[in-house]
Structure 1
Amino acid sequence: MNEKTEELRDIFTDVTDGEATITESQEDTRGSLEKDDRSAEDRLENVIAQMRERYEFETPLSDDQLIALSKAFYDGESDDAIADDLGVDEETVFDARLSLHLVAEDDADEVDLVAIRDRDEDDATLAAEYDVSETQIRRYRRVAAAKDESRAANDRYRDEFDSILADADLTDRMATDVREDGLEDATEGMETNVDF
């Protein structure tokens, strides 16, 4: 080593507190479909807390109940079934669900939400025009407002729920498929001539 190289080495060891190397050993880890180490419960609780803070929505449901509601929604349960599970009325579930931007495909499938959203007429006028009850018009307007609110946030929260709940279901299914495929490959071609 020449003099300059020794000086650089000394500077390096001084800066690194005398460590001979600054590289870390790599750890062999298995791949995962999960991007976040937190549990689904923790992630859902975080999303709900963010939404409560941002939108200041009112609901008699606790965070735990909202987590259960979101899981049940992604499991395809109806508002009525969710209400029974939570011990509340169906309207409370509907309002809380829309506050979380969890709009179902059939929430307003009989009416054009864009047309309702842009109309200034009262509920009675629209109900007569669409041949539905005023309660249904109020419901449709609430769905339209929830969709607008979600869209204004670039569907961020809905995407979060999708990521946590829909992807968790996908992960479970893929893990099951991998286990089944692995077992099938391992037993392929084996003779199973067994007498009992």
Structure 2
Amino acid sequence: MDEKTEELRDIFLDVSEEESVTESQEELRGSVADSGEVDRERLVATIEEMQQKFDIESDCSTEELQTLVERFYGGADDETLAAELSVSAETVFETRMAFHLVRDDDPPGVTADEPAWEQLRERVDDDPETVAEAVDLPTADVERLLAVVRANARSRRVSNRFQTTFEECLTDIELSTQLAVDTQRDGLDEATEDAEVDVDF
């Protein structure tokens, strides 16, 4: 067995090792209950940590914030969340931004092309009215667009840590297990992609 063949064999053994799979699953599961239910204790702790770290003030109670996070990841839009929490859609949007809960199509009802987004990212600290003139959009729209830019920036500064924690709290066991398998499979594919192994049968 040549050196490359031996190296490939070791990779397969490492990836298929049962203990390694179990450890990866446990890491992904976090403290989610075995039943796959939401880890509400950790979810609430994360919400409270964010409130302290980012000095977030909200008219919503902790229970309502918990509901907002859960329903956000469940796919509820701002209008639906507003109705469920008896608040305005704007309050929902502002709260989402405060907790780094950003959708790909945010902000609702506002569109901007990539050049406009680029200017917004570069001028995030500028006066909204000045930016609005530069990108030829209403000031109200620019304020919402800037809120998205700032939320994404805050999230990146902490390496998206809170988003990841929210997702871990709300991810069921079945999905977590599949993620563990997929992650290892991807790692194996990357490790062997460029390997050139000659094996005589």
- TM-score band by shorter chain is 0.5 to 0.7
**CA-to-aligned-CA distance 1:32-89 (integer Å, 9 cap, x gap):** 7733156511111011011011011111011111110011111111111100000000
Question: Is 1:159 paired with 2:164?
Answer: yes
From 129, 145, 148, the equivalent of 1:143 is: 148
Say whether the 8 Å CA contact 2:102–2:152 is kept in structure 1: yes
TM-score w.r.t. length of structure 2: 0.62
CA positional deviation for 1:169: 7.9
TM-score w.r.t. length of structure 1: 0.64
Q: Alpha carbons of 1:133 and 1:48: their partners in 2 closer, same or farther (altered >3 Å)? A: same
2:8 is aligned to: none
Q: Alpha carbons of 1:143 and 1:37: their partners in 2 closer, same or farther (altered >3 Å)? A: closer
Q: Alpha carbons of 1:125 and 1:56: their partners in 2 closer, same or farther (altered >3 Å)? A: closer
Instruction: Quote the Cα distance in structure 2 between the aligned partners of 1:34 and 1:121.
Output: 42
Identity of aligned residues (%): 29
2:91 is aligned to: 92
Pair member with larger Rg: 1
Instruction: Quote the Cα distance in structure 1 between the aligned partners of 2:42 and 2:126.
Output: 41
Instruction: Quote the Cα distance in structure 1 between the aligned partners of 2:144 and 2:96.
Output: 12
Instruction: Quote the Cα distance in structure 2 between the aligned partners of 1:170 and 1:65.
Output: 27
For this pair of structures, how many residues does the alignment match? 143
Amino acid of the structure 1 residue aligned with 2:112: E
**Which protein, 1 or 2, shows the higher relative CO under an 8 Å CA cutoff with sep ≥ 6?**
2
Say whether the 8 Å CA contact 2:32–2:168 is kept in structure 1: no
Q: Alpha carbons of 1:73 and 1:173: their partners in 2 closer, same or farther (altered >3 Å)? A: farther
2:139 is aligned to: 134
SS at match of 1:106: coil
What is the RMSD of the two structures over their aligned residues, measured on CA atoms? 2.6
1:122 is aligned to: 127
1:67 is aligned to: 66
Q: Alpha carbons of 1:115 and 1:131: their partners in 2 closer, same or farther (altered >3 Å)? A: closer
Say whether the 8 Å CA contact 1:43–1:164 is kept in structure 2: yes
SS at match of 1:105: coil
What does residue range 1-196 of structure 1 map to in structure 2 within 5 Å?
Answer: 34-36=29-31, 40-108=39-107, 110-112=112-114, 113-119=117-123, 122-165=127-170, 167-168=171-172, 171=175
Instruction: Quote the Cα distance in structure 2 between the aligned partners of 1:54 and 1:138.
Output: 23
Structure 2, unmatched stretches of 5+, are 1-24, 179-201
Instruction: Quote the Cα distance in structure 2 between the aligned partners of 1:169 and 1:114.
Output: 39
